[in-house]
Amino acid sequence: MKKVDIVLVGFGNVGREFVRLVIEKQEVIRQRHGLDLRFRTIFRTTGSLMVKSQSPIEGILAGTIPPGREAALWNPAVRLPQVLAPGARGVLVECASSDIRTGEPGLEIIRTALSRGWHAVTADKGPLVAGLGELRKTAARKGLTLGSSGAAGAALPALDVGLRSLAGTEITAVEGILNGTTNYILTRMGQGASFDQALRAAQARGIAEPDPSYDVQGLDTAVKLLLLANAAMGLCLGLGDIDIEPVTRVSRRRIETARRRGQKIKLLGKIQRGPRGVRAEAKLRALGPSHPLFGVDGTDKGVTFTTDTMGAVTVTGGKSDPRGAAAALLKDIINIYVR
C-alpha cells in the first residue's frame, strides 16, 4: 500500500467537495489502486488545520461543530512552506480562486509545492494561464507532475484525451463548447427565450453566478481553450492572443436565422494551426447538424480535436459542478501514482 500525503489549499466549494469525495472513496481507492490517501494539512485564508484524525474535518463538513469552535481550529501562524517539508513527498491540491491575469495566489502556492518536491494538482485556472510554462519547466526538471484536469474542463476528460490518447498525432485544431452557462443561455434562446430571460433562468437554477460577466463575456471559454490547446498542441498562447466575442452580443434575429437554416448558435472556442500560423478565437458560430458539437446543448460541454493520423476525435459530457471538479482532482492524483 502506497501512502500519499495530501496538503489541500482552499476549503471552499471545490475543496470541501474534494475532502468529502476522498473520505467517501478512501476504501475503494485502497483496494483498487493500492493508494492510502491521507490529509496532512488543509489551508484557507483564515489559517490551517493539521489533520491528526478525520473527525474534525468530518464535523466541519457535517456542520456539527459550533462556528466559534470551528474558527478556533484554524491556526493562522502556520505557513505553507513549513508543512511542505522537502523529502516528505506528497501532492498539493490547489483549490483557491486566483486572478486570471497575475495567477495569484495560486501561482506562488504551486511554485512552492513543486520547488519542495511535491506534485501538484489544481482546479484553479489563474496560475495555469499566467504561469503554465514556468510551472511545467519546474515540474519536468524535478520529475514531478502538475495535474490540471480540474481547471481545464474538470469532469470532461478532454485534457487526458489530448495529452495521452492522441499522443504521437499532430493536433491541428482544438475546438470546444467549454462553458455550461453560456451554452445553457444560447440553448434557451434557441427555444425562443430572450437573452435576459435565459440568463435569469440560468441564475434561478444556480447555473450562472450572480455576477455572470466572466462567463457571458467569453473569458471562461477563452481560458479553458487556452489550457487545452497550449497543453495538447504544445503552444504558449496568452489570453491576449484570443479574439473573443461576448455572448451578450447575440441578437434574437441571429438565433432565429440560424434556427430556420437548421443550425444552432454556439460560443465556440477554436485554436487552429494553418499555413499562415495559429488562429485563436472564442466566437459565436452557427453550427449545422454535421458538426460534431451540434448536439452539445444546455449545460453540457464538448471538445473536438482534429489530428493528422487519427482524424477528428470528440469528447462530450461530464458534470459541471464542484463535485465534478473534485473528481477530476482525484483522478489526476490517482494517475500520478498508478501508471
Ligand X SMILES: NC(=O)c1ccc[n+]([C@@H]2O[C@H](COP(=O)([O-])OP(=O)(O)OC[C@H]3O[C@@H](n4cnc5c(N)ncnc54)[C@H](OP(=O)(O)O)[C@@H]3O)[C@@H](O)[C@H]2O)c1
Burial of 61 per CB tally in 10 Å (0-12, 13-18, 19+) = middle
CB 24 to ligand X: min, Å: 18
165 makes contact with ligand X (CB under 6 A) = no
102 makes contact with ligand X (CB under 6 A) = no
- How far apart, in Å, are the Cα atoms of 312 and each of 114, 210, 253, 302? 35, 37, 32, 13
Q: Which of 15, 157, 176, 218 binds ligand X (CB under 6 A)?
A: 15
Report d(CA 154, CA 227) in Å as an integer. 12
HSE, CB side, 13 Å, CA atoms: give it for residue 3: 6
Cβ-closest residue to ligand X? 12
46 makes contact with ligand X (CB under 6 A) = yes
Residues 203, 208, 209: CA angle, nearest 5 degrees: 100
Whose Cβ is closer to ligand X: residue 11's or residue 118's?
Answer: 11
Per-residue interface string for the shown chain with ligand X, residues 58-97, x marking contact by CB under 6 A: -------------------------------------xxx
- Residues contacting ligand X: total by CB under 6 A: 23
Q: Which of 10, 90, 180, 190 binds ligand X (CB under 6 A)?
A: 10
- Exposure b/e, 298-313, CB count within 10 A at least 16 = b: ebbbbbbbbbeeeeeb
Whose Cβ is closer to ligand X: residue 154's or residue 228's?
Answer: 154
Whose Cβ is closer to ligand X: residue 282's or residue 325's?
Answer: 325
Q: Which of 103, 107, 124, 224 binds ligand X (CB under 6 A)?
A: 124
154 makes contact with ligand X (CB under 6 A) = yes
Contact 9, 92 (CB under 8 A): yes
- How far apart, in Å, are the Cα atoms of 49 and each of 41, 124, 216? 6, 21, 37
Whose Cβ is closer to ligand X: residue 12's or residue 133's?
Answer: 12
Residues 6+ away with beta carbon under 8 Å from 66:
none
- From 4-12, 26-34, 184-192, 222-230, give the range in contact with ligand X by CB under 6 A: 4-12
User: Whats the size of the chain, residue-wise?
Assistant: 339
45 makes contact with ligand X (CB under 6 A) = yes
Give, for 128, the enclosing helix (H) or strand (E): helix 125-142
CB 76 to ligand X: min, Å: 11
Whose Cβ is closer to ligand X: residue 43's or residue 118's?
Answer: 43
- From 122-130, 131-139, 225-233, 331-339, give the range in contact with ligand X by CB under 6 A: 122-130
Give, for 69, the enclosing helix (H) or strand (E): helix 67-73
245 makes contact with ligand X (CB under 6 A) = no
Judged by CB under 6 A, the chain residues 262 through 321 that form the site for ligand X are 321
Q: Which of 43, 118, 184, 305 binds ligand X (CB under 6 A)?
A: 43
Phi, psi of 193 (to 5 degrees): -75, 155
CB 20 to ligand X: min, Å: 12
- How far apart, in Å, are the Cα atoms of 142 and each of 113, 116, 227? 11, 9, 22
Neighbours of 150 (CB within 10 A): 28
CB 197 to ligand X: min, Å: 24
Per DSSP, the three-state class of 121 is: strand
Report d(CA 77, CA 47) in Å as an integer. 7
Report the catalytic residues: 224
Q: Which of 90, 105, 162, 218 binds ligand X (CB under 6 A)?
A: 105
325 makes contact with ligand X (CB under 6 A) = yes
Q: Which of 40, 44, 142, 200 binds ligand X (CB under 6 A)?
A: 44
Residues that bind ligand X (CB under 6 A): 9-15, 43-46, 95-97, 105, 123-125, 150, 154, 321-322, 325
